[in-house]
Structure 1
Amino acid sequence: MSDIHIRIEGRAGRITLTREKALNALSYDMCLAIDAALRDWATDDSVALVILDAAGDKAFCAGGDIAELYETGTKGDFAYGRNFWRDEYRMNARIFEYPKPVVSFLQGFTMGGGVGIGCHGTHRIVCESSRISMPECGIGLVPDVGGSLLLALAPGRLGEYLGTTGHRMGAADAILAGFADHFIPQAQWPGLIADLQRTGDLNLLAQMAETPPEGQLEAMRAEIDACFAGETLADILTVLTARDDAFARSTLKTLSRHAPLSLACTVEMVHRLRATNTTMRRALDLEYRFTHRAMEQGDLLEGVRALIIDKDKSPKWQYAEAPVPAVAVSQMLMPLGPDALTFEEEE
């Protein structure tokens, strides 16, 4: 497949995203190819570890390829998107639960669907150019591909902040928030990957890790924790509105551009997952409840139209003029019954 290069080199199973001109955006076919390779290698004794990387300097993976989702959804065909998300989420779970080490090299943009591939392995490497984010609320989705689990496990109220604002994390911020493990300058990656292939020695990663350049989130922690401690989106907005400082004004401006229903559901999802003995599968199940309904009942098609297709940047969001009703959040996140996300051994 021209969009992805899958092979075994030395002791490593290698998966390289090669859609450089599309910022390595993840297509449905790429998801299926990754999943198939992981299945094959799980029981292949010649494969000691898996290495995930991508061509180019601009992006590891800037997200899912949503052109086909939009085209089918606007015709009233919601099955394509639902199947895509179902199979993508199963692949995300496979990476998270994989029986062998998975090492990912995350240069440039790692956003949305890229987080689902790159941030659930055992060893996640970032560099000077890394910019990791979950920007889904900006197009009428919620942080998915297992990202809601990472947000729920992030320190303090970083999960609510990162999930609703789509803040782009550099290397230090990504490590602080639990989206990455080691900072290694990108110039050292080719030699490191060659050594990993040859030796299979994961100790090389910690040995080569350096202290990353200072991030932004640590200095913002007190403000984030104070402003994002509310039970609902309305609580958070009330606190931000009552404050008259640069952080509150900047944050409110960002949130005002995003879909209110998505924001409210994101806060609720993070809280639900944080309150339980959460698992990746529980997180994916909750995400799928939203994405299964996102085109038919949510704002996804309007968000994609306004930001990506027409590019007028003037989406007509639901609940733009009034608080999001609690019942609307419940309806997006209620169980799907026979349509619920399942995993192989459950079927």
Structure 2
Amino acid sequence: MLRLNNTFDKKYFKIELIFFVLYFYVFRFLTDFEYNFWERKKSGISFFEVEYNLLYGTSALIAYWIFYQIIRRYLISKRLFILIAHILLFLVFYSIYLKATSYLFAHLDFLSEEMRKSALRQFNFKSIGYSLAYVLREFFSISFLAYFIHVDKQNEQVKLLKEQQLISELTYLKAQLQPHFFFNTLNNIYGLALKRDENTAPLVAKLAEMMRYILYKADEKLVSLKDEITFIQNYVEVENIRYRSAINIKFDAQGIDDNSKISPLLLLPFIENAFKHGIEEEEKEGFVNIIICKTEEELTLEVNNSIAKNKEKTGGIGLVNVKKRLEILYPEKHKLEIQNDEKIYQVSLTLEMK
């Protein structure tokens, strides 16, 4: 949280600095320029006006920067009575401050004579030293800046907290998915090992390759779509080794390029679900058809699988988790359709690619 606050402070200090420079320097020069152009019928501003605006703009900037710190501290915290007391004190000291700066400017020998005379007149002028109308203008402008930054900072903090919450939830969902995936795959290896099947070693090799992908890629926010498809292809090959010719398995990937990115392990649960909950109990008539198609703007996944007889339920923790991940990662940017007619289970997923 300290790091976030430091980031916010740096960002908003730049905004504050730009505001004060514009307000107390640029606008003063523009006002004089406009007055000279329209009223005096001359372009540009004199050396005296430049000198005057720089000196009194700097003195006003320093005073109102202090006032701005008061606004930030008490207005935002809704301590109004303390704020009003500080404003009254500021008005008193601001009058003294303006007289003191005018006296100082009147006695600085390196300033122009016209500037020193003007400062002396302001020092000797029998008044509080400022216009209440102008002071109120400054008050409202600076108060608006303080309130704007306060609201924007709160919105940024809420946004970051939401992002952190989403990251934590995604991490949790991935943590659930990975043990679930390995549990299913190890079951496959265990079944082949009991049969002393010659395909056990190739299956272990494929699993090792998939484990390497999960260990090094699963924690990344986005991975190469090409790598993700290769991982899925390895998974399908593992299932091919397991079922061999008993089940009709088809896998086709089209339009996969090297530049597209996708959240890791996002497509796997749909494919894993087709094998785990669709044809696991089939012996000779089951099928799984997988088509992944990438266009310029969309990625489409189509999975069709037969449903084993007497299979009462399809879907599992992986499918539940991936639906949650889709809601988090692709809000209003995905379309998921699932159909089940008790004989064929169909999944159609369309993603707007990031």
Provide TM-score, normalisation by structure 1.
0.21
Point out the structure with the larger helix share.
2
Higher relative contact order (CA 8 A, sep 6+): 1
Provide TM-score, normalisation by structure 2.
0.21
For the pair shown, the structure with the greater C-alpha radius of gyration is 2
